[in-house]
């Protein structure tokens, strides 16, 4: 195999069509990615457990790209996959797929994690990945048809878990109704109120249409508020947003990333999400809101791992499902239809509101 110069994410995008052919599933999304030689094992296992139809793809320091595919899922009590007739291993430079000779064998294994554990996962007969190195088994050709890989020690430079989604598994795309944000807000106002653990009053503070406000105007608007919702309607009439309470001092010179444990995200009208849904972070005490200084020319406001708002467009983060709970398989793609850019999605806003949230003092 040739030494690779592209990143693993670029290679996955380049080979999307052949991955679809191998898996017979139409869409891929990255649910875990690392370019650290020491893989975060608990985070890796959290993304693998309960997944179906997943690829694990890794790039070695010499540029080789290897991977494994399994159709069957694991759970907290099941750490091995057996009898997976859809399982195969593969390489991506050049693309080649290798089927297992006996399907009634174990084809994937994760290891119960302990604090000093180094083992990440294993494909019995093919390879084992641990921190910081792995091994391709020298007798791999005894287990897989046509494989010519040489058994050796390998070092991982990048690794990704890619979930594959078939058309039949995705809810039909909703054609969003042609309603104004005013109409949509009135329709869902009580649902928004239900997302809080105490009675609240909601009051629209400001709204802007197509021409976005500056970071200075945004900061001045939210500075006097104790909590606010950003409600976004795209040009395709999908509607989503976020809630935050942490607000910085009005004057600051650099980007401010703040921890806001009251933050949540939500979708009111989604691409394949037919009912409004609230999403909370998987972990507390993480940076959940980003403010830009008043002199910022382009960027306005952001929710790390969800969206970033600029004067031109809104960028939706591809790894939303890693950082929020109970996200459907489509991940960030359930929020809006957009143009893909470096795995993220770019959407155009039609209208954006800032809504003040006043909580009851009871």
Contact status, residue 181 vs residue 208, Cβ threshold 8 Å: no
Alpha-carbon distance of 228 to 319, in angstroms, equals 24
Tell me: the pLDDT tens digits for 323-351?
999 887 667 777 766 566 666 778 888 89
C-alpha 247 chain-centroid distance: 26
Pairing of strands 200-209, 256-259: unpaired
pTM listed for this prediction:
0.54
pLDDT reported for residue 1: 41
* Burial status of residue 274 (CB atoms within 10 A of its CB: 0-12, 13-18, 19 or more): exposed
DSSP annotation of 82? E
| pLDDT tens sequence across 58-112 | 999 999 999 999 887 776 666 788 888 889 999 998 999 999 987 667 889 888 7
So what's the pLDDT on residue 170? 39
Residue 258 · residue 246 · CB < 8 Å: yes
Residues in the chain with pLDDT < 50? 1-3, 168-176
d(CA 87, CA 9): 22
Q: How far, in Å, CA of 245 to CA of 25, rounded?
A: 41
Q: Which of 247, 254, 240, 219 is nearest to 314 (CA)?
A: 240
Phi, psi of 245 (to 5 degrees): -115, -30
């Amino acid at each position: 195999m040739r030494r690779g110069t592209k990143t693993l994410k670029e290679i996955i995008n380049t080979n999307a069509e052949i991955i679809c052919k191998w898996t017979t599933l139409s869409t891929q999304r990255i649910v875990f990615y690392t370019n650290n030689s020491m893989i975060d094992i608990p985070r890796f296992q959290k993304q693998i457990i309960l997944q179906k139809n997943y690829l694990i793809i890794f790039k070695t320091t010499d540029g080789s790209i290897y991977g494994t595919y399994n159709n069957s899922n694991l759970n907290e009590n099941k750490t091995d996959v057996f009898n997976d007739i859809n399982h195969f291993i593969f390489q991506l430079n050049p693309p080649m797929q290798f089927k297992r000779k006996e399907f009634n064998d174990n084809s994937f294994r994760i290891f119960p994690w302990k604090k000093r554990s180094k083992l990440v996962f294993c494909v019995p007969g093919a390879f084992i990945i641990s921190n910081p190195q792995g091994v391709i088994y020298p007798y791999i050709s005894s287990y897989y048809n046509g494989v010519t890989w040489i058994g050796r020690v390998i070092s991982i430079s990048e690794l990704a878990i890619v979930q594959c989604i078939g058309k039949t598994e995705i809810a039909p795309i909703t054609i969003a109704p042609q309603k104004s944000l005013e109409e949509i807000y009135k329709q869902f106002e009580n649902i928004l109120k239900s997302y809080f653990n105490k009675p609240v009053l909601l009051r629209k503070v400001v709204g802007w249409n197509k021409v976005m406000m500056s970071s200075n105007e945004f900061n001045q608007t939210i500075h006097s508020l104790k909590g606010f919702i950003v409600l976004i309607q795209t040009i395709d009439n999908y509607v989503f947003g976020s809630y935050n309470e942490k607000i910085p001092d009005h004057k600051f010179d650099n980007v401010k990333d703040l921890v806001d444990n009251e933050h949540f995200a939500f979708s009111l009208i989604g691409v394949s999400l037919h009912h409004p849904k609230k999403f909370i972070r998987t972990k507390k005490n993480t940076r959940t809101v980003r403010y830009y200084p008043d002199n910022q020319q382009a960027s306005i406001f952001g929710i790390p791992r969800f969206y970033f708002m600029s004067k031109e467009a809104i960028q939706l983060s591809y790894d939303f499902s890693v950082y929020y709970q109970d996200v459907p398989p489509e991940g960030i793609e359930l929020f809006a239809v957009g143009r893909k850019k470096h795995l993220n999605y770019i959407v155009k806003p039609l209208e954006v509101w800032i809504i003040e949230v006043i909580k009851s003092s009871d």
